[in-house]
Amino acid sequence: MKASEIIALLPYQGPFLFVDDIVAVSEKNITGHYTFRDDEFFYQGHFKNKPVTPGVILTECMAQIGLVCLGIYLMKAELKKVQKPQIALTSYQMDFYLPVFPGQKVNVHSEKEVFRFNKLKCKVKMLTEDGELVARGVISGMLKV
């Protein structure tokens, strides 16, 4: 399954799509990236005169790349029959280390911990282009086709 096919199956669209590309994917992990554009809707008012990407948006970006895209890849055989996967986030625990500013590109790497009965649990991390750790944690979700 190609990166473009995985991204096309995501149940999101702009302005709430936080995946630009997937650069590597396997049965065990996935790596992708997203650039937070200067005109993103959430920068208005967060914070005055010094916009910063909200943590919930960083978590969403990590979930879209690290959980949903990986889940779509893992369920590729089932998705040949049904083209609209349903995804529900079930839990997450995240630690943040650096802010992300408008115009900044981030890389997300996720490693599968468990995938059983359509429940996927992953260790995820977000890095700057220079490899500095922005955030890391664990995300779980249910996938249904």
Which residues are annotated as catalytic?
A: 46
% of residues, the chain, pLDDT over 90: 79
Q: What domains are defined for the chain?
A: 3-144 (3.10.129.10)
Tens digits of residue pLDDT in 124-133: 999 999 999 9
Of the candidates 65, 61, 74, 43, the one whose C-alpha atom is nearest the C-alpha of residue 143 is 74
Q: Which region holds residue 55: left if phi is over 0, alpha if psi is between -120 and 50, else beta?
A: alpha
- Per-residue model confidence (pLDDT) at position 83: 65
The residue to which tokens 């992708």 are assigned: 32
What is this structure's pTM?
0.94
34 versus 79: the higher-pLDDT residue is 34
- Burial annotation 101-132 (CB, 10 A radius, 16+ → b, else e): eeebebbbbbebeebeebebbbebbbbeeeee
Q: How far is CA 48 from CA 31, 45, 98, in A?
A: 33, 6, 18
Amino acid making up residue 85: P
pLDDT band at 85 (very low <50, low <70, confident <90, very high): confident
CB atoms within 10 A of CB 35: 15
The confidence band for 87, taking pLDDT boundaries of 50, 70 and 90, is: confident
